[in-house]
Amino acid sequence: MERLKKDIIKEMEEKSRENLNRGIDIAVTILKHEFPFITGWDYKNDPETYRSSIYLVLNADMNLASEFYNSPIRNVYKHADAKTAYPFSALEISTELNEEEKYELFKVIQKSLVEIYDEIPSELRHEFESYASEKKEPKELYIEGFIFEKPKENINESESSNDKVSLAKSLIQQLFYEVSFIEQSTYNDRPLLTVYFDSDDTAANIESVFTHEICDTIKDYTSGEIKCNPSWGPKMRTLRNNPDILIDAILLEYDDEGNVLNENKLDEIERNLEVINLILSEISWDGLCEIWVEYNEDDKEYEIRSKSMKRHFDHDEIAEELGYLENTLRSMGIRHYIFAPWYIEECEDEVEFLNENWFKVPSSDYNSLEKIINLTMKEKYGWWKDIKINTLNYIDWNSQVQIEAELTVDEEWGANQWRESYPISKFPGNEGWEDEYGYSRRVSLGDITDSTYAYVIRHDLEEIFKYTLNIESYNTSFINVYLIFE
């Protein structure tokens, strides 16, 4: 009997949860008619986490959002899934709006969702008992962010064959974990991609099956804009339908010691350079002249440099693009170093990068420097408590100080700054947060200070460095200055 009661209670609870989910389903479905780019929803966390509110993440279609806001998709978002604060963050329009304008546009969606949910029958709503009215009222729904799937590629006929080949290679590398490497050549006057892969499948036709699977996937992801055929067989069959590329999948073979028998591949460095260059082709900001990668044999890392007609510390767009680059390379496990963009007046201007023109401030100097910084900054900023320096470098050729540190600040000040920067997000404190690219991270100084405030703080630090380290710094860069809230 006791087990039966538990089963009945469990079934009732599950049915109740289904009804409550159905209420949000109905609200989001109605919302779709007003904002057709919305495709679904999910809870940000357990709906019982907060007494009177629920946080949702809305799923959305990037192409439909582009049509709705009449704005093209930004290059950095074209080939990957994205999580953003606003439905237009992945579009060019986001670079033209200030934070207040962005929030006002977003608030229209938020308000509409709340109004719709209020009209849902009470038995289908999450509710709480109001202290003021002592009545059941619907919980407030808050949109925490938007999740976009990678948009379907839309390639114009005017785009070159090289663009299609590069995109095809990128799709293969991203979508097929079995692929070890790809070689490019020409066959029957068409680009040929030879795809080397690993598989435990012992079927005799595994290479043929995998070749067709690659071609079908490329066709689906590009809506048929890239035509692909297997490379084997008579020329008439290989070139049927006038393909853009040919594919030949080769199963890697190994000897008893694990060495590849049929390997004829680029070495790891060259493959990483190829991948990084592909990623760099998506990096763009107004004023960017050139961005490239070089391999530093001594440090065993990939150095990324750029020339820009705009200074990086004056423009949030540059920080956002380089932040995306940083997160992407870090997630791929590629050891790298991204140099601050070299400022030039004209793109034709030459620059000279010298690795020797930088030095690392000895850690033995940190203690005395920390005392001076804390004494000076505490007097000026009531929220400043204590700084612990992890790394401090000085780059001579652009007079830049790069600082990695942990900064303890007043928790109330941090919460207020957070709310000003992210009005729809809960202050994460020392637990950290998930950024728009889906990466878990601690709160940094740059997260909660705007460019004007950050400039003032940098200027104060530059004055300290000038008199304590006897260096001229015109470009202090906060690299991983994480905050501890007390």
Contact 475, 396 (CB under 8 A): no
Range of the domain at 63: 2-148
Whole-number pLDDT of residue 363 = 66
Look at residue 394 and tell me if it is in a domain.
Answer: yes
**What is the number of domains present in the chain?**
4
What's the sign of the alpha-carbon dihedral 208, 210, 215, 217? positive
pLDDT (mean) for 111-117? 87
Look at residue 267 and tell me if it is in a domain.
Answer: no
Contact 58, 41 (CB under 8 A): yes
pLDDT at position 379 over 70: yes
The reply to whether 144 and 165 lie within a common domain is no
Size (the chain), residues: 486
Look at residue 408 and tell me if it is in a domain.
Answer: yes
pLDDT at position 471 over 70: no
Higher pLDDT among residues 98 and 437, named by residue: 98
**Percent of the chain topping pLDDT 70:** 75
Quick one: pLDDT band at residue 153, thresholds 50, 70, 90? Answer: low
Look at residue 362 and tell me if it is in a domain.
Answer: yes
pLDDT (mean) for 271-294? 83
Range with the poorest average pLDDT among 210-219, 362-371, 393-402, 458-467:
393-402
The reply to whether 422 and 469 lie within a common domain is yes
Whole-number pLDDT of residue 133 = 64
Range with the poorest average pLDDT among 154-168, 222-236, 350-364, 472-486:
350-364
CATH code of the domain in which 238 resides: 3.30.300
The reply to whether 6 and 123 lie within a common domain is yes
- Taking the C-alpha atoms of residue 138 and residue 114, their distance in angstroms, rounded to an integer, is 9
The reply to whether 20 and 79 lie within a common domain is yes
Q: In the structure encoding, which two tokens stand for residue 425, read together?
A: 């997000």
The reply to whether 141 and 169 lie within a common domain is no
Quick one: pLDDT band at residue 90, thresholds 50, 70, 90? Answer: confident
- Taking the C-alpha atoms of residue 218 and residue 171, their distance in angstroms, rounded to an integer, is 7
The reply to whether 362 and 479 lie within a common domain is yes
The reply to whether 140 and 22 lie within a common domain is yes
Higher pLDDT among residues 176 and 313, named by residue: 176
CA dihedral 398, 399, 405, 411 (to 10 degrees): -100
pLDDT at position 118 over 80: yes
Quick one: pLDDT band at residue 132, thresholds 50, 70, 90? Answer: low
CATH code of the domain in which 337 resides: 3.30.1340.30
The reply to whether 236 and 298 lie within a common domain is no
Residues 221-240: tens digit of each pLDDT: 777 778 888 876 545 456 66
Last residue of a domain, one of 116, 148, 180: 148
The reply to whether 370 and 454 lie within a common domain is yes
Last residue of a domain, one of 343, 370, 387: 343
Last residue of a domain, one of 283, 317, 343: 343
Look at residue 350 and tell me if it is in a domain.
Answer: no
Higher pLDDT among residues 364 and 373, named by residue: 373
Look at residue 315 and tell me if it is in a domain.
Answer: yes
pLDDT at position 75 over 60: yes
The reply to whether 391 and 446 lie within a common domain is yes
What is the distance in angstroms between the CA of the first residue and the CA of the last residue of the chain? Answer: 53
Q: Which burial class, exposed, middle or buried, applies to 370 when counting CB atoms under 10 A from its CB (0-12, 13-18, 19+)?
A: middle
Look at residue 21 and tell me if it is in a domain.
Answer: yes
Residues 170-226: tens digit of each pLDDT: 888 878 888 888 888 877 778 889 888 888 887 777 888 898 899 888 888 777 778
The reply to whether 96 and 8 lie within a common domain is yes
SS3 annotation, the chain: CHHHHHHHHHHHHHHHHHHHHHHHHHHHHHHHHHCCCEEEEEECCCCCCCCCEEEEEEEECHHHHHHHCCCCECHHHCCCCEEECCCCCCEHHHHCCCHHHHHHHHHHHHHHHHHHHHCCCHHHCCEEECCCCCCEEECEEEEEEEEECCCCCCCCCCCCHHHHHHHHHHHHHHHCCCEEEEEEEEECCEEEEEEEECCCCCCCCHHHHHHHHHHHHHHHHCCCCCCEEECCCCHHHHCCCCCCEEEEEEECCECCCCCECCCCCCCHHHHHHHHHHHHHCCCCCCCEEEEEEEEECCCCEEEEEEEECCCHHHCHHHHHHHHHHHHHHHHCCCCEEECCCEECCCCCCCCCCCCCCEEECCHHHHHHHHHHHHHHHHHHCCCEEEEEEEEEEEEHHHCEEEEEEEEEECHHHHHHHHHHHCCCCCCCHHHCEECCCCCEECCEHHHCCCHHHHHHHHHHHHHHHHHHCCCCCCEEEEEEEEEEEC
Range with the poorest average pLDDT among 10-24, 136-150, 293-307, 405-419:
10-24
Residues 3-37: tens digit of each pLDDT: 433 443 344 444 455 667 778 888 888 888 889 89
Look at residue 154 and tell me if it is in a domain.
Answer: no
Q: Kindly give, in sequence order, each residue whose CB lies less than 8 Å from that of residue 170, ignoring residues fewer than 6 positions away.
A: 79, 278
The reply to whether 38 and 133 lie within a common domain is yes
Mean pLDDT of all residues belonging to the chain:
76
